[in-house]
Each structure stands twice: as structure tokens, then as C-alpha cells.
């Protein structure tokens, strides 16, 4: 096809022949320019969106501005600071709990054991609680700070697990010391440790235990876990039971009406081992209770939570 036209005052005649190739090239150029314009417009729009509506830009292309990043980082830092403060408070709480537990341990441990085994680590101490930091370091890179907080948390968790284990061990140790009451139910302490007038001879005599007056049949229980080393009869003590415990302790229960344990038997604290009676050299139903340490008789009041010392 040919286009002809007359141009200007000179009347030049111009002709353009339109071939299929030219049409194709023209179309391509037009299409390309349209695409380029579209892309340019998109870029401009995107830039505008980044500046004006960052969340829209994020949605459009997963891109954040520097300002947005800083805002995000400061939010994370704020959260991290809160976490670090919480970690510090928890650490302090754990340390206070540990001190409290040590005080309870001191109270529950008989004086004789406390004095002689002061170096024993079983009764005291516990795992080391990590030192608290003095706030977060704001110059530390965020990933590093997060990593540190995580490590601290892991360490704290490890301490708590170790503490639970240690406390269990200590509790088990206390169970083996005769610091529990030897009798359950209604009773009153009728005769204390030391010099007194013997109820039979009326003469001054040493009383090497505590007398718990109670009705016949009142349950007598093991003051601590241990092994029964004697379960029998003796003229003065009547029915008698002896139990060997940890740390060189031994307990003796006398004047029993009934015995429920045999020699060599393992017993736990609180287990019923006998009943109150008035057998042997006794004026009425009561439990005569003695505590020995390394073969020497000691005042049960020094071991039992009776208030006196
Ligand atoms: Zn007595």
C-alpha cells in the first residue's frame, strides 16, 4: 500500500509505501513504549507508596523503608528490654527462694548435725543462680542481644531443674533425720529430759527421754525413715522398738502395747510402728521416747520441733 500527500506551499508530493514489515515494526515500537511508560508509572507509584504508605509498599513488594526498619527495630528492642527485665526479676526471685529454702533447711536440721557437719553441701547451698545484668546494652546488635537473652533463659531453666533435683535430695535427707514427732493423735508431754523424781523409787533419777502420755492404742510412728534394729521385750522398757537412721541417729520407743515391725525392716517417717501401752516399768499408758546420736543419748527437745532448745 502507498500513501501520497502534497505538503506545504511548494506542493511537494510525498509518498510512503506501507509494507507489512513496517507495520510490524511500528506496532512493536508502540507496544514497547507503552510497556516502558507503564513500568515507569509503576516505579513512581511504588516510590510514592513507600514514602506515604509503607504498609502498602510492603504489601506490594515486600520492601521496607529505612525509617520503617528503624521503627521495627526499636519495637523489638523495647520488647527485648522487657524480656531482659523479666529475666532479671526471675533471677532475683529464684535467689530469694533459694535463701528462704536454706533458712528452712537450717531450722529443720538438728543442731548436732548442723554443728558437726557445717561443711556438708547436702544441707545447704544449691546451684549457682546466674548474675543479673545491669539492663540491656542498646548498642548491641539486635540478633546478638536476642541470642544472649535466649541463652540466659536456657541457663535459668537449667538452674531451676538442678534446684528441683537438689531440693528433692535435701528433703529426702531430712526424712532420714529424727526431727518428726514419734506419736500421732491426742497426747501431752508428761515428763521431760533430765533429772526428776523416779515415779517408782521417789528418788532423784536421770530421765533420758521424753514421756508422751496418751491413751492405750494411740499410734506410735517412726520419727524418721530408717531400719528397725530392735523389736522385742525388756523388763524395764517392756515392749520396745529401736530404729537406726542416717547421720548416726537412733530412736527408741518403749512401754508399747503392740509392735508392728520386725528387726531388719525398712520403715519410712510417719509409718505406724507400734501402739501406746504401759508395759514394763510404767505407771500408766505413755510412750517413752529416746534419741541417740553415735551411741550417746541426747535431749529429744533439741531435735524435735517442740520449741525449747
Ligand atoms: Zn520415760
* Ranges of each domain in the chain: 2-61, 66-175, 188-302
Distance 231 CA to ligand 1 centre (A): 18
Give the pLDDT of residue 307.
46
Task: Tell whether the torsion through CA atoms of 159, 164, 165 and 170 is positive or negative.
Answer: positive
Distance 290 CA to ligand 1 centre (A): 8
In terms of average pLDDT, the best of 118-122, 154-158, 205-209, 249-253 is 249-253
Instruction: Give pTM, 2 decimals.
Output: 0.66
Give residue-wise pLDDT tens across range 210-262: 999 999 999 999 999 999 999 999 999 999 999 999 999 999 999 999 999 99
Distance 281 CA to ligand 1 centre (A): 9
Contacts of 122 (CB under 8 A, 6+ apart): 169, 170, 173
Distance 39 CA to ligand 1 centre (A): 105
Which of these ranges, 29-33, 63-67, 113-117, has the smallest mean pLDDT?
113-117
Distance 227 CA to ligand 1 centre (A): 23
DSSP E strand boundaries for 159-225:
188-191, 194-197, 204-207, 210-213, 219-221
Distance 239 CA to ligand 1 centre (A): 13
Q: Which fold has domain 188-302?
A: Glucose Permease (Domain IIA) (2.70.70)
C-alpha cell at 65: 523503608
Give the pLDDT of residue 118.
45
Confirm if 212 and 303 have CB atoms less than 8 A apart. Answer: no
Distance 224 CA to ligand 1 centre (A): 20
Distance 206 CA to ligand 1 centre (A): 10
Distance 260 CA to ligand 1 centre (A): 21
- H-assigned helices in the chain: 20-52, 54-61, 66-108, 111-116, 142-175
Amino acid at each position: 500500500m502507498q500513501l501520497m500527500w502534497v505538503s506545504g506551499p511548494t506542493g511537494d508530493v510525498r509518498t510512503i509505501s506501507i509494507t507489512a514489515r513496517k507495520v510490524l515494526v511500528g506496532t512493536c515500537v508502540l507496544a514497547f513504549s507503552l510497556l516502558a511508560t507503564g513500568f515507569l508509572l509503576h516505579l513512581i507509584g511504588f516510590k510514592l507508596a513507600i514514602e506515604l504508605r509503607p504498609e502498602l509498599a510492603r504489601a506490594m513488594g515486600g520492601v521496607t523503608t529505612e525509617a520503617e526498619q528503624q521503627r521495627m527495630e526499636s519495637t523489638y528492642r523495647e520488647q527485648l528490654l522487657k524480656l531482659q527485665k523479666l529475666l532479671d526479676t526471675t533471677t532475683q526471685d529464684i535467689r530469694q527462694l533459694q535463701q528462704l529454702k536454706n533458712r528452712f533447711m537450717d531450722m529443720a536440721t538438728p543442731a548436732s548435725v548442723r554443728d558437726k557437719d557445717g561443711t556438708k553441701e547436702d544441707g545447704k547451698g544449691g546451684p549457682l543462680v546466674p548474675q543479673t545484668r545491669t539492663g540491656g546494652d542498646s548498642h548491641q546488635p539486635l540478633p546478638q542481644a536476642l541470642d544472649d537473652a535466649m541463652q540466659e533463659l536456657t541457663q535459668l531453666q537449667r538452674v531451676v531443674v538442678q534446684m528441683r533435683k537438689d531440693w528433692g535430695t535435701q528433703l529426702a535427707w531430712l526424712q532420714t533425720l529424727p526431727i518428726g514427732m514419734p506419736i500421732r493423735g491426742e497426747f501431752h508431754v508428761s515428763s521431760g529430759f533430765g533429772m526428776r523424781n523416779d515415779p517408782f523409787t521417789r528418788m532423784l533419777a536421770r530421765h533420758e527421754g521424753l514421756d508422751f502420755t496418751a491413751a492405750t492404742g494411740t499410734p506410735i510412728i517412726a520419727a524418721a525413715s530408717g531400719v528397725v534394729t530392735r523389736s522385742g521385750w525388756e523388763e524395764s522398757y517392756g515392749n520396745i522398738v529401736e530404729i537406726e537412721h542416717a547421720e548416726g541417729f537412733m530412736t527408741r520407743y518403749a512401754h508399747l502395747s503392740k509392735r508392728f515391725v520386725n528387726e531388719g525392716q525398712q520403715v519410712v517417717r510417719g509409718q505406724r510402728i507400734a501402739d501406746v501401752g504401759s508395759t514394763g516399768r510404767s505407771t500408766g499408758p505413755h510412750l517413752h521416747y529416746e534419741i541417740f546420736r553415735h551411741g550417746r543419748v541426747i535431749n529429744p527437745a533439741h531435735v524435735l520441733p517442740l520449741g525449747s532448745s
